[in-house]
Amino acid sequence: MRVSQPAVDHFPFDVWSSLVARHSRNPSRSLLLYGSPMGHQPLREAVADYLRTARAVRCEADRIMVVSGSQQALEVSARVLLDPRDKVWIEEPGYSGARDVLAVAGASLVPVPVDGEGLDVAAGIARCPQARAAYVTPSHQYPLGMTLSASRRLQLLDWAQRSGAWILEDDYDSEYRYESLPIAALQGLDRDSRVIYIGTFSKVLFPALRLGYIVIPADLVARFAAVREAMDIFPPTLLQAALADFIGEGHFGRHLRRTRQLYRERRGVLVEALRNDLGDVLDVIGSEAGMHLVATLPPGSHDRQISARAARQGLWVMPLSACYLGEAARPGLVLGYGGTDVSEIPGAVRRLRQVVLQSPSSP
């Protein structure tokens, strides 16, 4: 089970069902025949409008490709941009799902440390100045939660422009910030068309929807479309049509506002419970945004053992060390709260305390 589950029980399935039924009862001919490898045009237009307004992304509908989530977005991007053994910067610690896709594509992964300002671009340049690409989560670093600073953003874009590298920007849960307004996308600062912008509806709607998108530089659209057509011809159309209506009729915006308040409340309850029950053991970081946070453990702790013991108690936590490609710099736990009801959080934290305080040799 993944730790960053959304609150699917708060999704407006009555509205969604009516939209799906609308297109299922009397579908247009275009919904039943072969479609564009770029995706359903009305959805692409709705996504472009949303991204320009909410994320300051520079895009038009003809540069947006609909994909089945961020994993496929990375797979398509890797097939277009990378050759086997090309070197790619990845954040350390970072998202293991991205590491897996890039590794399967034959890339040579170069872990680059993150600090309080996000990806350490200078360290990346020192380690591998001629990398072909960099995978980053600048708005909400996964898993530690910091935001890539303005100076680092400019430094990263400058490196990409000078070296001819690509930046894969994964904006996986940027809609949820609790202490400030949403951070604008890195792509909006890109004047040299070096950023491939990736987004997903898995976190804001529900994971089984399997819909995401890529914003592609104009001169690469034909190459992306050719690769996508070779992979699976085009994405399924029915749910794209329903989602286009869901966005266009305002349901998406209302759902975002409701869940933003819901996750803010759950985040607050979890942080308070951790400080009350485990404040002498854990340090909470990265709680300002998203649907998860990290609780670091004392040096020498075995976070994988703790995670395994927690699972046996019905608690789903991920060891922070699993997010490192190399040796983990610190042990910790990644805790999701999006899919957990407020009433369940204090008791779950008390159970977690018992797990954390067990001796390493305990079963």
The CATH number linked to 213 is 3.40.640.10
Q: What is the 3-state secondary structure (H, E, C) of 271-289?
A: HHHHHHHHCCCCEEECCCE
Alpha-carbon gap, residue 33 to 30, rounded angstroms: 5
Instruction: Tell me the DSSP string of 67-86.
Output: ESSHHHHHHHHHHHH--TT-
Global model pTM greater than 0.85:
yes
One-letter amino acid of 54? A
Tens-digit pLDDT profile for residues 79-97 = 999 999 999 999 999 999 9
Q: Express each pLDDT in 4-16 by its tens digit.
A: 789 999 999 999 9
- In the β-sheet with 283-285, what is the strand arrangement from edge to edge? 283-285, 292-296, 332-336, 318-319
134 and 165 in contact (C-beta within 8 Å)? yes
Q: Give the span between the Cα atoms of 6 and 336, in whole angstroms.
A: 9
Residues 149 and 273 both lie in one domain? no
* Span 108-164, pLDDT tens digits: 999 999 999 999 999 999 999 999 999 999 999 999 999 999 999 999 999 999 999
Q: Indicate if the pLDDT at residue 45 is higher than 70.
A: yes
What counts of helices (H) and strands (E) characterise the chain?
12, 12
Residues 17 and 70 in one domain: yes
Number of residues that this document lists for the chain: 363
State the virtual CA torsion across 73, 75, 81, 82 in degrees, nearest 10.
150
Tens digit of pLDDT for each residue in 267-285? 999 999 999 999 999 999 9
Residues 141, 220, single domain; the answer is: yes
Is beta strand 166-170 parallel, antiparallel or unpaired with respect to 195-200? parallel
pLDDT at 129: 97
Average pLDDT over residues 93-103: 96
- Is the same domain home to 59 and 167? yes
CB count within 10 Å of CB 34 equals 10
Considering the domain architecture, whether residues 262 and 244 belong to the same structural domain is answered as no
Contact predicate 296/283, CB 8 Å = yes
Helix axes 70-81, 96-104, angle to 10 degrees: 40
Note whether residue 35 is domain-resident.
yes
Q: Let me know if residue 137 belongs to a domain.
A: yes
In degrees, to the nearest 5, what angle opens at C-alpha 62 toward C-alphas 82 and 142? 50
Is the CB of residue 338 less than 8 Å from the CB of residue 4? yes
CA dist., res. 91 & res. 136, Å (int): 6
- Residue 211 and residue 94 in one domain: yes
Q: Specify the number of domains making up the chain.
A: 2
Residue 6, CA distances (Å) to 64, 95, 101 in order: 25, 18, 23
150 close to 139: Cβ distance less than 8 angstroms: no
d(CA 339, CA 332): 21
In-domain check, residue 329: yes
- 189 plus 267 within the same structural domain: no
**Is residue 64 located within the same domain as residue 201?**
yes
What's the confidence (pLDDT) of residue 360?
62
- Is there a contact between 182 and 174 (Cβ–Cβ < 8 Å)? yes
Mean pLDDT taken over the chain: 95
Q: 310: domain CATH number?
A: 3.90.1150.10
The predicted pLDDT at position 4 comes to 78
Task: Assess whether pLDDT exceeds 70 at residue 170.
Answer: yes
In a domain, 55, yes or no: yes
Confidence of residue 174 (pLDDT cuts 50, 70, 90): confident
What residues make up the domain containing 298? Answer: 253-357
* Domain boundary, last residue among 249, 270, 288: 249
Query: Cα(192)–Cα(187) distance, rounded to whole angstroms?
Result: 10
Q: 260 in helix, strand or coil?
A: helix
**Token pair listed for 339:** 């899919």
- Tell whether 1 is covered by a domain: no
Tell me: pLDDT of 1 over 60: no
Q: Does residue 2 form part of some domain?
A: no
Task: Retrieve residue 118's tokens.
Answer: 């996000």
Tell me whether residue 172 is in a domain.
yes
